[in-house]
Amino acid sequence: MEQKREKFSSSLAVFLATLSSAVGLGNIWMFPYITGENGGAAFIIIYLICVALVGLPVLISEFIIGRGTRRNVHGAISKITNKNRFKIISVFAILATYFMLSFYTVVVGWVYSYLYKAVIGALKGVTSETTSILFYNTSVGPIAPIIWQMIALLVGGTILVLGVKGGIEKLTKTLMPVLILLLGICAFRSLTLAGAMEGINFLIKPDFSKVHIGVVLSALGLAFFKLSVGSGAMITYSSYYTDDNNLIGTAGKVAISDTLVSLTAGLAIFPAAFSFGLEPSSGPGLLFNTVPLIFAKMPGGWVLSIIFFVLAAMAATMSMISLLEVLIVVFTEELKMERKKAIIMNVIIIALVGSLAALSGNPNGILGNKLVFGLTFFDLFDTLVSKILLPINGLLIILLTGYFINKKYLTDQLSNNGILNNELTIKTLIFIMKYISPILIIIVFLKSFI
């Protein structure tokens, strides 16, 4: 007998929970620094194309698989196809989730650390020099990065113990709107700084001379990471969707909202970076070196910095729990493990593997000079996820949906058994799934190695 599964309570809950999985440190931390490293506006244009032609179709494919089967990622793939070649999707998804959490929880820990610094007043009156020192002390360790990573994991595990409605839904309904509002305030203040126009130009004036295949692959990987596709998170969350949810509508709203939040984060970060003489290509520390400077220049900035890092921590936590939920549900449904025990076991596994990333997140860390294939553990986990596992899994999912799932089944899922009048949209989407998305993924992926 199958276990009784919880569902989200409404379409609004579905939207906010799904958006919370996409909107997190990917928007506030990863999007700005990867955009900075890859030249700004030209990268954003390529990223938007990747979202429209690849990310969105894969997202909808995962919705179809998740809601249609109402199972965890392993059970869903096993139920929806008898083709053994596609069973590897769940293996790649689980591996990607473990690797992603191993480095992502490090950054969540950094955010928690900055929340603590904001509360005790360590961010008051900071300068561009002191912010660099603060980030060094946070990320180098050896003790601090691991302690904060553990705190982040404990918070995430506690929320998941409360379940889908009591934990995930309640948290996302409360915090998502407030986070977006505060990010908008931060962007507005950043735009009023002296020299902000240079940062705006960086975001809106493309320089395609800096574009190469590595930039395109980074954009594709970011599109997968930002929309939480390829890791099983969206298959898992959509298995909790209501029966009347419009899958295409939800995917479109999530993709648009997620992109707008990312661009708002860019407007908060880059004008400030140029205003304070920071390099936009300064890497993972970009967020932590710019946001404290913005609030230091604002009336009441101390209070606002506390609020910002509270909400940034919660946004990071919401994305983290969506990934953790992938693993928890596999353990509870496939291994028949009690939920609390599954949470504890996975927190321990991630803490052990993640400690390698925690000690190499900064090049000056204890493991910062220990390289595997020329990469630190932190960068290795990131590369495995964003440039290998997620694109491969995205390709397999789109091939499975486009070629091996019955067309009537797809149509029924996307039209809610004929209730929605969206035949033309469905035909267009299926065409993109079959002939455009897989070709683009294959070209970009192979070209990056050739």
CATH for 268 = 1.20.1740.10
**Is residue 4 in some structural domain?**
no
Q: Which of 12-21, 97-106, 252-261, 433-442 has the lowest mean pLDDT?
A: 12-21
Among 182-186, 319-323, 413-417, the range with the most confident prediction by mean pLDDT is 413-417
Stretch 423-438: mean pLDDT: 94
- What is the model's pLDDT at position 262? 84
**Is residue 6 in some structural domain?**
no
Q: Tell me: the pLDDT tens digits for 131-146?
A: 888 888 888 878 889 9
Domain count, the chain: 1
- What is the model's pLDDT at position 200? 86
- What is the model's pLDDT at position 2? 45
**Is residue 263 in some structural domain?**
yes
Residue 352 has pLDDT above 90, yes or no: yes
**Is residue 199 in some structural domain?**
yes
Stretch 225-235: mean pLDDT: 84
313 versus 92: the higher-pLDDT residue is 92
Phi, psi of 62 (to 5 degrees): -70, -35
- What is the model's pLDDT at position 211? 80
> Quick one: which H or E segment has residue 233?
helix 233-238
CB 248 within 8 A of CB 422: yes
- Encoded tokens for 138: 């946070």
- What is the model's pLDDT at position 136? 84
pTM for the whole thing? 0.85
- What is the model's pLDDT at position 1? 39
> Quick one: which H or E segment has residue 145?
helix 143-161
**Is residue 137 in some structural domain?**
yes
Range(s) of the domain holding residue 418: 11-449
Among 190-199, 276-285, 333-342, the range with the most confident prediction by mean pLDDT is 333-342
10 versus 429: the higher-pLDDT residue is 429
For 285-418, where are the alpha helices, taking DSSP H only? Answer: 286-296, 301-334, 339-358, 377-383, 390-399, 407-415
Residue 325: DSSP 8-state: H
265 versus 56: the higher-pLDDT residue is 56
**Separation CA 126–CA 129 (nearest Å):** 8
- What is the model's pLDDT at position 20? 66
**Is residue 108 in some structural domain?**
yes
**Is residue 5 in some structural domain?**
no
Residue at token pair 């929309």: 227
Residue 430 has pLDDT above 50, yes or no: yes
Q: What percent of the chain has pLDDT over 90?
A: 35
376 versus 180: the higher-pLDDT residue is 376
CA quadruple 383, 386, 389, 395: dihedral sign: negative
**Is residue 1 in some structural domain?**
no
257 versus 248: the higher-pLDDT residue is 248
> Quick one: which H or E segment has residue 251?
helix 247-275
